[in-house]
Amino acid sequence: MLHIVKTISALEDVMRVLRDGDSLLLVEQAVFAANPQHKAYRQIQGVEISVLTADAKARAIDNRISPSVTFVDFAGFVELTEKHANSTTWE
Protein backbone atom coordinates (compact mmCIF):
# COMPACT_ATOMS: atom_id res chain seq x y z
CA MET A 1 0.00 0.00 0.00
CA LEU A 2 1.21 3.47 -0.84
CA HIS A 3 0.27 6.02 1.81
CA ILE A 4 0.33 9.56 0.44
CA VAL A 5 0.36 11.96 3.38
CA LYS A 6 -0.58 15.61 2.87
CA THR A 7 -0.69 16.94 6.44
CA ILE A 8 1.32 16.59 9.62
CA SER A 9 -1.87 15.89 11.57
CA ALA A 10 -2.53 12.76 9.49
CA LEU A 11 0.80 11.15 10.39
CA GLU A 12 -0.35 9.65 13.69
CA ASP A 13 -3.26 7.87 11.98
CA VAL A 14 -1.04 6.62 9.16
CA MET A 15 1.56 5.24 11.53
CA ARG A 16 -1.09 3.13 13.28
CA VAL A 17 -1.98 1.27 10.07
CA LEU A 18 1.41 1.17 8.32
CA ARG A 19 2.55 -2.40 7.60
CA ASP A 20 5.70 -4.06 6.30
CA GLY A 21 6.00 -3.49 2.57
CA ASP A 22 4.00 -0.24 2.65
CA SER A 23 5.51 2.98 1.34
CA LEU A 24 5.05 6.42 2.84
CA LEU A 25 5.17 9.47 0.58
CA LEU A 26 5.10 12.91 2.19
CA VAL A 27 3.66 15.70 0.05
CA GLU A 28 2.38 19.24 0.54
CA GLN A 29 2.51 20.33 4.21
CA ALA A 30 3.60 16.87 5.42
CA VAL A 31 7.10 17.33 3.96
CA PHE A 32 7.99 19.32 7.09
CA ALA A 33 7.91 16.05 9.07
CA ALA A 34 11.02 14.86 7.19
CA ASN A 35 13.08 17.60 8.85
CA PRO A 36 14.86 16.09 11.88
CA GLN A 37 14.28 19.39 13.73
CA HIS A 38 10.49 19.09 13.38
CA LYS A 39 8.59 17.57 16.32
CA ALA A 40 6.76 15.15 13.98
CA TYR A 41 10.04 13.63 12.76
CA ARG A 42 10.17 11.23 15.71
CA GLN A 43 6.92 9.64 14.48
CA ILE A 44 8.50 8.58 11.20
CA GLN A 45 11.96 7.54 12.38
CA GLY A 46 12.77 4.01 11.31
CA VAL A 47 10.25 4.06 8.46
CA GLU A 48 11.20 4.17 4.78
CA ILE A 49 10.07 7.63 3.69
CA SER A 50 9.91 9.44 0.36
CA VAL A 51 9.33 13.16 -0.07
CA LEU A 52 8.06 14.88 -3.19
CA THR A 53 10.98 17.08 -4.24
CA ALA A 54 8.81 19.84 -5.70
CA ASP A 55 6.92 20.25 -2.42
CA ALA A 56 10.11 20.37 -0.33
CA LYS A 57 11.60 22.96 -2.68
CA ALA A 58 8.40 25.02 -2.73
CA ARG A 59 8.64 25.27 1.05
CA ALA A 60 12.41 25.97 0.94
CA ILE A 61 13.24 23.00 3.16
CA ASP A 62 14.83 20.66 0.63
CA ASN A 63 18.22 21.25 2.31
CA ARG A 64 16.78 20.40 5.75
CA ILE A 65 15.34 16.98 4.92
CA SER A 66 16.90 14.01 6.70
CA PRO A 67 19.52 12.14 4.64
CA SER A 68 17.61 8.93 5.36
CA VAL A 69 14.66 10.23 3.30
CA THR A 70 14.40 9.61 -0.44
CA PHE A 71 13.52 12.51 -2.72
CA VAL A 72 11.20 11.64 -5.61
CA ASP A 73 10.12 13.73 -8.56
CA PHE A 74 6.75 13.35 -10.28
CA ALA A 75 8.06 10.39 -12.30
CA GLY A 76 9.11 8.77 -9.02
CA PHE A 77 5.63 9.43 -7.65
CA VAL A 78 4.20 7.53 -10.61
CA GLU A 79 6.68 4.68 -10.04
CA LEU A 80 5.53 4.39 -6.43
CA THR A 81 1.89 4.16 -7.53
CA GLU A 82 2.81 1.49 -10.08
CA LYS A 83 4.75 -0.48 -7.45
CA HIS A 84 1.72 -0.73 -5.15
CA ALA A 85 -1.63 -2.23 -6.10
CA ASN A 86 -3.41 0.15 -3.73
CA SER A 87 -2.88 3.67 -2.49
CA THR A 88 -4.63 6.00 -0.12
CA THR A 89 -4.28 9.71 0.52
CA TRP A 90 -4.29 11.07 4.06
CA GLU A 91 -5.28 14.69 4.71
- Per-residue pLDDT of 65-79, as tens digits, reads 999 999 999 999 999
pLDDT in tens, 5-52: 999 999 999 999 999 999 999 999 999 999 999 999 999 988 889 999
- Cβ-contact 86, 22 below 8 angstroms: no
- What pLDDT is recorded for position 45? 85
Domains along the chain with CATH numbers: 2-89 (3.40.1260.10)
- Given a cut of 90, whether residue 58 has pLDDT beyond it is yes
Q: What is the DSSP string of 37-91?
A: TSTTHHHHTTS-EEEEHHHHHHTT-TTTS-TTSEEE-HHHHHHHHHH-S-EEEE-
Whole-model pTM: value is 0.95
- What pLDDT is recorded for position 46? 83
